[in-house]
Amino acid sequence: MDRTWRHNPAFFALFVLLLCAFASGHAVAGSSKNVDYTEMSAEELAEYLIFKANGFDTDMKTQEGGTVRARLQQDKLQKTCSALNGGQIDSATAQKVTEMARENTAYPDGGIELGDWEKGQTIAENAYGYRVGHKIDDHEARQTGGLCINCHQMEEDKKIRSGTLGPSLIGYGETRGLTEQTKQYTYEVIYNPHQFFPCTKMPRFGANDFLSQDKIAHVMAYLLDPDSPVNQ
């Protein structure tokens, strides 16, 4: 997926496993003079293999710009949420995260408008992201997406291939109504959901630059336009 894989423990575990498999071939065998891997916890070993043993080229460029090393560094909000270690969030942390998320939210110059629901549908189902490594995607030929359907049911007849990590959004616009408040709330949730759901698993599509303002407008239309299949 995109940067959001960092939020997902399963993806992270898989990534670390792959790294270990990859790194063990040369890094572990080649540079094990002073390092006792058996003394390391799983986290320490992962840190070691990724950041110190050169088992994986962390200076490699990422498609969105920057390096793999930079992408692996958590920002302040992620660090705060990670410190909970998967446990229940307390009210002080929730307030801190909510504030961080609010500070991090920008609005379109012309106000929050709906785009084209058909384009939004494509974006909601599109898993094309920002890869790293030698076999990168051609974003000239194909746009990046949001893959909302991985976590949300959005259309009745696509339920079978939709994820359920997030709440169902079927009938979202019909139930909420097309008011200014709904538009603002929906925009803000897509842009940075932590302002309503601190330490949520939902990605920060706007704050992380994964969806442009235009794309967010299209996804909003998909959710809110009375003609969209979400509301049929």
Contacts to ligand HEC by CB under 6 A? 124, 146-148, 150-152, 165-167, 169, 186, 189-190, 193, 197, 200-203, 205, 219
Q: State how far Cα 19 lies from the chain centre.
A: 21
Closest approach, Cβ 101 to ligand HEC, in A, equals 12
Instruction: Tell me how far, at minimum, the Cβ of 125 lies from ligand HEC, in Å.
Output: 10
Measured from the CB atom, is 115 or 146 closer to ligand HEC? 146
Least distance in Å: CB of 201 to ligand HEC? 5
Compare residues 55 and 120 and give the one whose CB is closer to ligand HEC: 120
Cβ–Cβ under 8 Å, residues 124 and 147: yes
DSSP 164-184: -SSPP-TTHHHHH-S-HHHHH
Q: If 0-12 CB within 10 Å is exposed, 13-18 middle and 19+ buried, where does residue 114 land? A: buried
What are 80's two structure tokens? 């705060």
Side-chain half-sphere exposure of 143, counting CA atoms within 13 A: 15
Instruction: Quote the CA–CA distance of 35 and 157 in Å, as a whole number.
Output: 55
Give whichever of 55 and 146 is closer to ligand HEC, judged by the CB atom.
Answer: 146
Six-digit token pair at 124? 């909601």
Phi-psi bin for 30: left (phi > 0), alpha (psi -120 to 50), beta?
alpha
Q: How far is the CB of 70 from ligand HEC (least distance, A)?
A: 22
Measured from the CB atom, the residue of 56 and 210 that comes closer to ligand HEC is: 210
Integer Cα distance of 48 and 133 in angstroms = 20
Specify the residue, 71 or 183, whose C-beta has the smaller distance to ligand HEC.
183
To the nearest whole angstrom, how small is the minimum distance from the Cβ of residue 186 to ligand HEC?
A: 5
Closest CA relative to residue 10, chosen from 181, 201, 143: 201
| 30 three-state secondary structure | helix
Residue 160 CB, shortest distance to ligand HEC, in Å, is: 18
Q: Which is nearer to ligand HEC, 53 or 220 (CB)?
A: 220
